[in-house]
Structure 1
Amino acid sequence: MRSWQSFLVERLLLLNKKKINTANYIEQKRIANQAPYVIPAKLQQKYNILKDNTYSLDTYVLESTSDPHTRVILYLHGGGYIEQPLSWHWHFLYKLSQKVNGTIYVPVYPKAPNHNYKEAFEQVLPIYEYLLTKVKPENIVLMGDSAGGGFALALAQFLLESDISQPGNIILLSPWLDITLSHPEIEAMESKEPMLDTKLLIEVGKLYAGKSALSNYLLSPINGPLQGLGKISLFIGTHELFLPDARKFKVLAEKENIDINYFEYPQMNHVFPVFPIPEAKIAMKQMIDIIKEDVDSTR
């Protein structure tokens, strides 16, 4: 049975969900995303978030207070490939960094409509390669939420195709696995979805793809290779648009005899692990157990 807190959060999300004028929204983001991302000063100070100037790409770092060099997480934030990190991202990542005793790298990768996925991959890949010089690949976690979850899986697939070492774990929170959102069961999910706008996502996805085919696994990783990837863990709620593709992904993995950690939470909304609800605490513990178990076993 779901918690009353999760029910309240979902009701609030539904009440605040507005009908979006897609063209106006995209134009607003076109202007906003021309300026460099600036993390709110209060958040940066509160969570002691550092900025890594090793690369031209803005990358932020959160370190645990104890044993920060045991493991590293490369976190690709969500936001439909058009939004910059939100405050809840930093709150969630701070909690995660303290519980795993590790360091989290958060690149603010190029966004639509000013940039496309090729630019994002070109700028994030060197960061992953840098992390390989700091720890063993099995001690790296590639992680992301929503669009960032799709990006994380696609990056792991690109690493596989490029013969670059896989991370030990790939953790996906409500991942956007098919940028086309063409699964026939998605339409039925719209009445349950309290956050996402299907039409907007489809249009932004086209902009992010540029001239590339939307079926390209770098955009729709559900079409990419599964054999040979790091251990995959996927968290999804039954009240979100991405549920049909998550279930499809699970079936595809099973057909290839690939064992994934699949966590489907009844009546949970999009990216529910970041919300202040009991179910999020349970999901966080599951993530921590997955990360610590695999990394500690390599010592």
Structure 2
Amino acid sequence: MSPAMNLTRALLHARPNVFRTERTLREALRHPRPDAPLPANLRRTCAVRTETVDGREVITLTPRRGATGTEVIYLHGGAYVRPLVAAHWRIVAALIRRTGATVTVPLYGLAPRYTADDAYRFLDMVYRAVLQRAGAHPVFLAGDSCGAGLAVGQAIRCRDEGLRPPAGLILFSPWVDVTMTNPGIARLTAHDPMLAPEGLAAAGRDWAGPRAVTDPLISPLHDTLADLPPTWIYQGGHDIFLPDAEAFAAKANAAGTPTTLHVWPSAFHVFVGAGWTPEARRALADAAGRIRAAGRG
């Protein structure tokens, strides 16, 4: 583990974990925060288009120099109940800088006010619009944490509805089973500075709304995972989502969906947002290479 990763993880352990219990989560949600504003560096380096789709904001960033025509739809994390934060913009900025892709960031509605059904209606509209704009260029779905789970869910919808599939899925620390029932979670809970199963399971129930928490659009691990696009997962070993990420990769590969799981044993949840660490830089470089390769193909 690098010194930068070690220090960042220690700082995260010193902060309160709002997911520790359902009570601590509910208390945190009593004081909602707005989405983090678009950073000045992205405004300088990208042409920014903001539009409203189905009543929700969609931000599209196209690099002013070196644009390739490749498209990425990036879905932010936050357990479906927390807004976009500065770390998400750092990930988006890194992907744009390393790939030349246009990145679209849909600000989907959060639980408990909104549910997965609201999000998928919104994302269907966004996805179809990006496909039309992309033409023959590749379109990737990417995201972190719950946003990565939502990206898989959207790929499942494309498969089931006969839509053009994404060129690939880029998943950072994906949340693929909101039930939080994997027995392997318990051994990692004390090591995870950011997440805890009780609060997350409550957030998952809110997000599911009228659906079962095992519905594949809520918990993609419960899908067959057959006939999905090539998938790359970047996962920390000190993250309670690791056991489900391992199960997802094994199931997807067994079903014929090519899936690569990269694990950094000492890294925390969505460590790619800590771009000052060499672990994050290596993960983002690999993800960007996958996106660039599709553009060359």
- TM-score (structure 1 length as normaliser): 0.91
1:1-299 aligned at under 5 Å gives the runs: 2-18=1-17, 22-23=22-23, 25-26=25-26, 28-29=28-29, 32=32, 37=34, 39-40=36-37, 43-48=38-43, 50-55=48-53, 56-68=55-67, 70-136=69-135, 139-275=138-274, 276-297=276-297
Q: 1:191 to 1:23 in 2, by over 3 A?
A: closer
Aligned length: 291
Output one character per residue of 1:174-229: Cα deviation in whole Å (capped at 9) or x when no partner.
Answer: 00010101101111110111111221111111111112111100000011232221
Q: Work out whether residues 157 and 225 of structure 1, in 8 Å CA contact, stay in contact via their aligned partners in 2.
A: no
- TM-score (structure 2 length as normaliser): 0.92
Per-residue deviation, 1:90: 1.0
Output one character per residue of 1:32-67: Cα deviation in whole Å (capped at 9) or x when no partner.
Answer: 37xxx5543xx4433217342152310112222324
Q: 1:296 to 1:231 in 2, by over 3 A?
A: same
Q: Work out whether residues 137 and 168 of structure 1, in 8 Å CA contact, stay in contact via their aligned partners in 2.
A: no
Q: Which moved more, 1:131-140 or 1:161-170?
A: 131-140
**CA-atom RMSD in angstroms:** 1.9
User: What amino acid does structure 2 have at the position aligned with 1:141?
Assistant: F
Q: Which runs of 5+ in 2 are unaligned?
A: none
1: CA distance, partners of 2:42 / 2:225:
36
Output one character per residue of 1:215-248: Cα deviation in whole Å (capped at 9) or x when no partner.
Answer: 1000000112322211111111111100110111
1: CA distance, partners of 2:35 / 2:183:
39
Q: 1:28 to 1:253 in 2, by over 3 A?
A: closer
2: CA distance, partners of 1:188 / 1:172:
23
Q: Work out whether residues 173 and 234 of structure 1, in 8 Å CA contact, stay in contact via their aligned partners in 2.
A: yes
Q: Which runs of 5+ in 1 are unaligned?
A: none
2: CA distance, partners of 1:265 / 1:79:
21
Per-residue deviation, 1:255: 2.1
Q: Work out whether residues 230 and 257 of structure 2, in 8 Å CA contact, stay in contact via their aligned partners in 1.
A: no
